[in-house]
Amino acid sequence: MKKIAVVTDSNAGIKQKDVEGTDIYVVPMPFIIGEEVYYEDINLTQDEFFEKQISDVKISTSQPSIEGVAELWTDLLKKYDQIVHIPMSSALSMSCETAKNYAETNFAGKVFVVDNRRISISQKGATYDAITLASRGYSGKEIQEYLEKDGDKSSIYLIVDTLKYLKRGGRVTPAAAAISSILGIKPILEIKGGKLDKYGITRNIKNGKMKMIEALKADIEKSFKNLEDNGELAISVAHTTNDEAAQVFKEELIKEFPKLRFDYVDPLSLSVATHVGPKVIACGIYHFVK
């Protein structure tokens, strides 16, 4: 059986300290804040990030240096036979395509880059699925094929407190953001197939949570009913600067979805937080390897 390392990036919401001593390795995502470059969970904490974001310092995201990623692969291949690399969705960043092209050219048969169109909650689930599959004797190629085929078996919804940061990133017009602020409307966004799109609107968190629950139920009924019945569907909560509300939401979801495995209450990755800002509540469902 081949010895396999699983590499992901910090978009998965996995902390460096949580994978010490395991076969999982996390590439920190870089951020340009002002004129300085920071790396998530290395020299940039969640608290520091939001302090800077709220103070209106200019923040932009970047993809990890392919040279740095290749150096990590080279080091890992000294003690592993193969590497499964799971970056954030190719629909949201060029980092997946860059890594895939580089691996095919320079690490063929050794590094398998997974394009399974996931991020955050569902990307974290895929990372641990890769470890499970490796423990069952799957090769790197087999894990890559499984995760790519499985990628769309997930849904994420999030309530955004303000359109300010979506406007800054060019995802909504200034006029739409102004109208939303005046009317007190909060958007509900969805992530499916790796793409971030508008799902609906709400006037308050309570109503928004009900709409997200209804959306998840509809997704299960339409696309994931067999996974629910087989006990192969998990649910998690994520948030930005909103842990107390996220913990309350967890209990509500456990009651609403008794057949689903509840996994995590996690902070959203900072790449997502850059675009949605603080006080976000999110939930997601995803298939897992039983």
Separation of alpha carbons 29 and 46, rounded Å: 13
Average pLDDT, stretch 21-33? 95
- Say what the pLDDT of residue 184 is: 60
Structure tokens at 114: 């997974």
Query: Per residue in 210-246, pLDDT tens?
Result: 999 999 999 999 999 999 999 999 999 999 999 999 9
Per the listing, tokens 């010895």 go with: 3
- For each of the domains in the chain, give its residue range(s) and CATH number, in order of start: 4-29+64-150 (3.40.50.10440), 154-287 (3.30.1180.10)
| Residues 36-57 pLDDT 10s | 999 999 999 999 999 999 999 9
| pLDDT recorded at residue 105 | 96
pTM: 0.91
How far is the C-alpha of 234 from the C-alpha of 94, rounded, in Å? 28
Q: Write the pLDDT tens digit of every residue in 276-286.
A: 899 999 999 99
What was the pLDDT predicted at 176?
A: 40
DSSP state of 258: T
Helices (H) and strands (E) in the chain, counts: 11, 13
SS3 50: helix
- pLDDT confidence tier of residue 198, bands split at 50, 70 and 90: confident
Single-letter amino acid, residue 119: I
pLDDT range class, residue 187, cuts 50, 70, 90:
confident
63-102 pLDDT, tens per residue?
A: 899 999 999 999 999 999 999 999 988 777 788 999 999 9
pLDDT value for 271: 86
Beta strands 82-86 and 111-113 are parallel
User: Could you tell me where the beta strands, DSSP code E, fall in 66-213?
Assistant: 82-86, 111-113, 154-159, 186-192, 195-202
Whole-number Å distance between alpha carbons of 33 and 183 = 31
The pLDDT of residue 249 is above 80: yes
Residues 6+ apart with CB under 8 A from 271: 10, 11, 29, 40, 61, 88, 92, 93, 119
Q: How confident is the model at residue 200 (pLDDT cuts 50, 70, 90)?
A: confident
Pairing of strands 261-267, 280-287: unpaired
pLDDT of residue 177: 38
Is the pLDDT at 183 greater than 70, yes or no?
A: no
Average pLDDT score over the chain: 90
- DSSP assignment of 125-147, as one string? HHHHHHHHHHHTT--HHHHHHHH
Going from the C-alpha of 147 to that of each of 85, 116, 129, 179, the distances in angstroms are 11, 6, 8, 41
pLDDT for 165 equals 80
Opening angle at CA 288, ends 282 and 290, nearest 5: 145
pLDDT level of residue 186 (50, 70, 90 thresholds): confident
> Residue 179's pLDDT is what?
39
DSSP string, 202-235: ESSHHHHHHHHHHHHHHHIIIIIHHHHHTT-EEE
Residues 6+ apart with CB under 8 A from 34: 52, 57, 58
The answer to whether the beta carbons of residues 211 and 193 sit under 8 Å apart is: no
Instruction: Say which DSSP state 170 is in.
Output: T
